[in-house]
Amino acid sequence: MTTRTEPPALSPVARTAAERRVLNALALEPGGPPSPQARIAGKIVRSVLMTFWGSLPDTDDGLRRFQRANDLFSRVQTVPRGVSIAQEDLGTCTAEWVRAGAPDERKVFLYLHGGGYFFGSARLYRPSNWRLSAATGRPVLALDYRLVPDHTPSDALEDALGAYDFLLRSGYAPGDIVVGGDSAGGHLALALLLALKERGTGLPAAAVCLSPWVDLRCESDSHRLNARSESVIPARKLAWLGRRFCADLTENDPLLSPRRGDLTGLPPMLFVASGSEILRDETRDVAERARAAGVQAVYQEWDGMMHVFTVFSDYVPEGKAAFRHIAEFLRGAEA
């Protein structure tokens, strides 16, 4: 009887200084001090983005002014040669396909961007979505769901359900789909899982939530404790948005507080947060609640990072490393 021996795994060899920097970045793990690049980027983002957001009035006009600035910035987003972008019309909204390398077309990652439900777009997220496709070996369907103030988070959930149904109609089995999102998109991803479970639709293979805003009431202690160390979101602004959104929701609405929903039966989930952001405690809490409900849930906390630091992967090495951790989580979830 002959025993087949698998060949040893090949370790990548860095031949240039640039390749060494990439490999060193990919090797980073949560728990260590932030890199110098992360510290510098956090200060810049705080002085520009957070200051601008904090200066705007709590009105529809203020939200639209931020949207316009975001839309202008999204136009300068680029992707490397070889990454393909294709538009998709989903009826109530649009989406775009992002493919890096040679992804497995039998699988797909449905990604829901962040932005407090009032800004953000698939185009803005191209620099992180191509990395997500490359790391996971899947095409990414990045959803441009409808935004406040012209629409509501409930409209966004309807769009997310429509996108999931579109993937099912396109021939993907639920087990071929991964759902993910960051910030408000992480909140939307959890709400999508609960809505799918409620209507009896097959659930995706796994979910990835990056710094999810999982409680619109903003009741976690870190909203207060980390208000000064947060470098992206003005805590007062998020609390105002939360009050506005909650006014239109009923107590049993999956959008209100998905971390308090019935999480039993949900697929494996990865939660990632920064130790210094205002959404830290609620991200920890939903991971603990998921584990208590029998869900395979992994929680990672990166010290000193910006909120959704993966978005800044072009500048922050920890962002690049996070995509490796996402890929490793998905391989484990599918094993």
Residues 6+ away with beta carbon under 8 Å from 222: 277, 278, 279, 280, 281, 282
What is the token pair recorded at 3? 């025993």
Q: 230, 277, 282, 301: which one is catalytic?
A: 277
Mind giving me the DSSP string for 37-49?
HHHHHHHHHIIII
Decide if 151 is catalytic: no
Q: Which residue bears the tokens 């890929």?
A: 327
Close Cβ partners of 325 (under 8 Å, ≥ 6 residues apart): 30, 270, 272, 300
Task: Determine contact, residues 143/202, Cβ cutoff 8 Å.
Answer: no
Annotated catalytic residue, options 113, 187, 223, 307: 307
- The upper half-sphere exposure of residue 93, i.e. CA atoms within 13 Å in the direction of its Cβ, equals 24
Task: Compute the chain's Rg from CA coordinates.
Answer: 19
Cα(329)–Cα(325) distance, rounded to whole angstroms?
6
User: Which residues lie across from 144 on neighbouring strands?
Assistant: 94
Catalytic residue among 128, 183, 220, 231: 183
Residue 217 sits at φ, ψ, to 5 deg, of -75, -15
Q: How far is CA 310 from CA 216, 273, 316, in A?
A: 22, 10, 8
SS3 label, residue 209: strand
Give the active site residues.
Answer: 183, 277, 307
